[in-house]
Amino acid sequence: MKQQGAHPEDTEGTPDASSRPDTAKQSGGAHRDVAHIDEVEGDEPLLPARVHRPSDLMRLVGGVLAVVVLLAIAAFAHGTTSGLEQDINKGTGQAPDLLIKIAGLASSIAILLVPVAFAIERLIKRDGLRIADGVLAAVLAHGVTLATDLWVARAAPDSIQDALTQPSPGDIHALTDPVHGYLAPVIAYMTAVGMSRRPRWRAVLWVVLLLDAFSMLVTGYTTPFSIILTVLIGWTVAYGTLYAVGSPNVRPTGRTLMAGLRTVGFRPVTASREEAVDAAEGGDRGRRYFVTLEDGPPLDVTVVDREQQAQGFFYRAWRNLALRGFATRRSLQSLRQALEQEALLAYAAIAAGANAPKLIATSELGPDAVMLVYEHTGGRTLDSLDDEEITDELLRDTWHQVMALQSRRIAHRRLVGDAILVDRSGTVILTDLRGGEIAAGDLLLRMDVSQLLVTLGLRVGAERAVASALSVLGPDAVADCLPMLQPIALSRSTRATLRRLARERAEREREAVLEASRHSRPARAHDADVSRPVVLEKADKKAVRAEQRAEKRAIDEALDEAREEDLLSQIRQEVLRIRPQAPVEPARLERVRPRTLISLIAGAIGAYFLLTQLTHIEFGPLISNAEWGWVAAAVLFSALSYVAAAMALLGFVPERVPFPRTVAAQVAGSFVKIVAPAAVGGVALNTRFLQRAGVRPGLAVASVGASQLFGLGCHILMLLAFGYLTGTEKTPSLSPSRTVIGGLLTVAVLVLVVTSVPFLRKFVVTRVRSLFAGVVPRMLDVLQRPQKLVTGIGGMLLLTACFVMCLDASIRAFGDESTSVSIASVAVVFLAGNALGSAAPTPGGVGAVEATLTVGLIAVGLPKEVAAPAVLLFRLLTLWLPVLPGWLAFNHLTRKAAL
């Protein structure tokens, strides 16, 4: 077998169909008299010694969830646990003493001897790495048991302690161990070394565990929940260890493939490894080989093993969870099921009259791999064809193959460029049917049509792609696929291509706008000294306005010329020309979105932490003793914040925008941020508002970006300044506090990490370059108007001051002089909570802000009896009460075409 050091020509993918048979004849003549020659052409990559199996990760997650459920039952179902223990003790108390002693003695000896015996057996077979994995898992399990014992003894609720321990029979003043320190490591060891996968050793393992559990329960040295927890900890730690360090790789090699082909009646001579498919999608389709035989035509062989099948597991699982009406193939699928599914689809496609690779043999390659043997098809994929080779006849032939599948209700599910093969005669062959589905519904069939439209449109354009589909399928069938023409319904690789094209279009539009802006800028702007801003009153205002209008008109014309429609819109327009009444509203395919799921999780966590702070607070007496004057002051500061927000925005907009309507837009933002994250909803609303107010789209985005950039800078400076003041309040020295030092060190470490990781460095550089391309020119315009700059910065400072004073008034409404904290401390807590709220994915930072503000106020010395209601009042005034006025303002501005 030639695995390394192959010639460059041997590393090619599948050669052309015309060259392969000749190679077979030559190879057959050269090797006809030589028996069992195993030669794998091509640089077959060395397989990694260890792999990280998703199944181990899933078992780890399942074990952790089982431990959490067990502790929850022990904590909240105290009556059930007590009754269960009584029933077990009553049943086991009737066991004969002789049986108890024999079981205890046998289990004590076997639980030590069985692991040693298995280790010796593995060492004899030179499998010492498994023993090392088992020892590592045992050590980690022992550490987890010690930590669990310490937590149960000192910090766990009484109900959990009662469920996991009981008075020791030898000493009534002592308690039994919550987790067995010797049993959990043994279970972790046995699981990590793979004893459970060997029938005989598995039987011995279960006998030992049952005997030990029986003897411990009868003698009163444990509880049922303690035994279950011990088993779960050992099991979970074992699979966590296996996933962290990896499991031994048992993937078959080329030599194994050659031996497997002989078992099904072939006489292979050479095998050439085809180039690997993209791992982002389709990486689970198996390794492909071109095999020549001593006699007969060559073969295409696909080898699928458990590791390749596991690729994309989490992506498929998420698609099955998130999408409604259809799903990908089963996430957890055995090799036997995968083999049967691909064979069934291969036979069904040929029976339907479609051109598909002919499956002629299947076989297992050991316990962890299978192979599928096809007749050699040859040819090149659609992606590898030149543009001039993709003729209209080829497009129609592709649609005829899809129509043949759809006539028998067969969905391909992956009609991308590398799944469409074109042989030397120009015949189209559909490959990669493994992920398809028979007896498919209309939804899947329409998705195939929309996917192929986009695949062909990426190569030949929307007009030719739609025309070829109409000529074969007809207008009605093509029009019915329009609701499926959305990114979520397309393949993963197609979505990535569309995103890349969208970024390129946006870059071209931005370059066109900047170029037009540079050419249309008046000559006086080139001569102006930026360090000495020109006062507007010294120039001719009419001439300046005329120049600005000319510049705006030139940029709008450049933007119109550079604007390009995306491929999906072009396909829709082509179809609507034939069927104007065709449905265009995208079908709702998503059951749950990632943002929604993250919001729910983050909101639940925040609510949990908030409720833990409120459980011990009596709100009745607290509210009755509240200072309503300070409540009114908090309301006033909250209302004033919208005026400050309008100032902060308009300070970075050189164009004239009505101030009252801007204030109304900020009030409308209080409604928008409830249905979207604060950092996203506010930006989108302000950008839309400025565009409706007459500011060009590019400049509107730049103005909001400049406002956000200045706001971020002011936020960081104020946080450092108030943090410094807070650190020096209780000491006469001017040394900075530990919090400030820790924050600076954290920022320094993050900067080092970002600059050292190529992916992160490229991401940051790209974002900074785009920022300076759009925001910085806008800032130069603002710098020429000092009154605008003063308005913007003053509005930001006033906005922060309003929120800080609102939080301080809320604290004073429920506290007194003895519980008050300084303004600097309140400012630090607010700035930290506001930063977290902007980063949190929940709408308005719900949950995250409340928890952060409450914990922060308690940390600076405020009693939790005052901190919790103060935070609730603050959030009520700044988040929840403004929702109704925000909704009214949003509807009003929408009717006025201001949003």
SS (H, E, C) 863-892: CHHHHHHHHHHHHHHHHHCCHHHHHHHHHH
Q: Half-sphere exposure (CA, 13 Å, Cβ side) for 429?
A: 20
Over residues 464-468, mean pLDDT: 94
Backbone angles phi, psi at 411, to 5 degrees: -100, 130
Nearest to 208 by CA among 233, 179, 231: 231
DSSP designation for 590:
B
Rounded to an integer, what distance in angstroms lies between the CA atom of residue 592 and that of residue 518?
Answer: 45
Containing 730, the helix (H) or strand (E) segment is none
Reply yes or no on whether the pLDDT at 231 is more than 50: yes
Query: Each residue of 368-405: pLDDT tens digit?
Result: 788 899 999 888 999 999 989 999 999 999 999 999 99
Over residues 777-801, mean pLDDT: 77
Please state, rounded to an integer, the average pLDDT across all residues of the chain: 75
Rounded to an integer, what distance in angstroms lies between the CA atom of residue 750 and that of residue 744?
Answer: 10
Reply yes or no on whether the pLDDT at 867 is more than 90: no
Q: Helix or strand or coil: residue 433?
A: helix
Rounded to an integer, what distance in angstroms lies between the CA atom of residue 873 and that of residue 306?
Answer: 56
Question: Which is more confidently placed, 890 or 676?
Answer: 890
Question: What pLDDT score does 334 carry?
Answer: 66
Nearest to 681 by CA among 667, 670, 697: 670
DSSP string, 674-715: HHSBHHHHHHHHHHHHHHHTT--HHHHHHHHHHHHHHHHHHH
Question: What pLDDT score does 512 carry?
Answer: 77
| Spatial contact of 209 and 187, defined as CB atoms under 8 Å apart | yes
Looking at residue 324, its amino acid is: R
Q: Which residue has the tokens 């189209």?
A: 428
Rounded to an integer, what distance in angstroms lies between the CA atom of residue 332 and that of residue 309?
Answer: 9
Pairing assessment for the beta strands 268-273 and 39-41 based on DSSP bridges? parallel
Over residues 522-541, mean pLDDT: 47
Query: Each residue of 808-858: pLDDT tens digit?
Result: 998 888 877 666 788 888 888 888 777 766 655 566 666 678 778 888 888
Question: What pLDDT score does 462 carry?
Answer: 93
Query: Strands across the sheet with 428-430, in order?
Result: 380-381, 420-422, 428-430
DSSP string, 814-855: H--GGG---HHHHHHHHHHHHHHHHHSSSBTTTTHHHHHHHH
Question: What pLDDT score does 475 carry?
Answer: 92
3-state helix, strand, coil in the chain (%, to 5): 65, 5, 25
pLDDT band at 30 (very low <50, low <70, confident <90, very high): very low
Backbone angles phi, psi at 363, to 5 degrees: -165, 160
The rounded percent of the chain whose pLDDT value lies above 70 is: 64
| Spatial contact of 424 and 399, defined as CB atoms under 8 Å apart | no
* 770 contacts: CB under 8 Å, gap ≥ 6: 510
Rounded to an integer, what distance in angstroms lies between the CA atom of residue 833 and that of residue 806?
Answer: 14
Reply yes or no on whether the pLDDT at 534 is more than 50: no
The rounded percent of the chain whose pLDDT value lies above 90 is: 15
Question: What pLDDT score does 550 carry?
Answer: 72
Q: Helix or strand or coil: residue 498?
A: helix
Among 75-84, 583-592, 615-624, 773-782, which range has the highest average pLDDT? 583-592
* 37 contacts: CB under 8 Å, gap ≥ 6: 31, 269, 270
Rounded to an integer, what distance in angstroms lies between the CA atom of residue 62 and that of residue 55?
Answer: 10
Backbone angles phi, psi at 24, to 5 degrees: -65, -40
Looking at residue 575, its amino acid is: V
Dihedral angle, C-alpha 413, 418, 423, 428, nearest 10 °: 30
Rounded to an integer, what distance in angstroms lies between the CA atom of residue 600 and that of residue 634?
Answer: 30
Dihedral angle, C-alpha 304, 305, 307, 308, nearest 10 °: 0
Rounded to an integer, what distance in angstroms lies between the CA atom of residue 753 and that of residue 750?
Answer: 5
Question: Which is more confidently placed, 459 or 679?
Answer: 459
Containing 292, the helix (H) or strand (E) segment is strand 287-293
pLDDT band at 457 (very low <50, low <70, confident <90, very high): very high
Among 36-45, 337-346, 764-773, which range has the highest average pLDDT? 337-346
Question: Which is more confidently placed, 62 or 77?
Answer: 62
Nearest to 653 by CA among 789, 820, 747: 789
Reply yes or no on whether the pLDDT at 224 is more than 90: no
Angle between helices 678-692 and 823-839 (to 10 degrees): 80
Mark residue 452 as left, alpha or beta (left: phi above 0; alpha: psi -120 to 50; beta: remaining).
alpha
Over residues 557-586, mean pLDDT: 83
Rounded to an integer, what distance in angstroms lies between the CA atom of residue 678 and that of residue 217?
Answer: 55
Two structure tokens written together for 755: 């600059």
Rounded to an integer, what distance in angstroms lies between the CA atom of residue 277 and that of residue 371?
Answer: 17
Rounded to an integer, what distance in angstroms lies between the CA atom of residue 127 and that of residue 124?
Answer: 8
- b/e per residue, 205-234, with b = 16+ CB within 10 A? beebbebbbbbbbbebbbbbbbbbbbbbbb
| Spatial contact of 292 and 26, defined as CB atoms under 8 Å apart | no
Over residues 244-263, mean pLDDT: 79
Q: Helix or strand or coil: residue 301?
A: strand
Q: Helix or strand or coil: residue 328?
A: coil
DSSP string, 98-165: HHHHHHHHHHHHHHHHHHHHHHHHHHHTT-HHHHHHHHHHHHHHHHHHHHHHHHHHHTS-HHHHHHH-
Q: Is 295 exposed, middle or buried (0-12, 13-18, 19+ CB in 10 A)?
A: exposed
Rounded to an integer, what distance in angstroms lies between the CA atom of residue 323 and that of residue 303?
Answer: 30
Counted residue by residue, the chain has a size of: 899
Two structure tokens written together for 386: 């030149």
Reply yes or no on whether the pLDDT at 735 is more than 50: no
Residue 290 C-alpha from the chain's centroid: 37
Reply yes or no on whether the pLDDT at 406 is more than 90: yes
DSSP designation for 436:
-
| Spatial contact of 887 and 672, defined as CB atoms under 8 Å apart | no
Containing 273, the helix (H) or strand (E) segment is strand 268-273
Q: Helix or strand or coil: residue 305?
A: strand
Looking at residue 751, its amino acid is: V
User: Which ranges in 32-96 belong to alpha helices (H)?
Assistant: 54-76, 78-92
Nearest to 302 by CA among 229, 255, 236, 363: 363
Q: Which residue has the tokens 């003698």?
A: 219
Over residues 303-325, mean pLDDT: 66
Q: Which residue has the tokens 């004969």?
A: 96
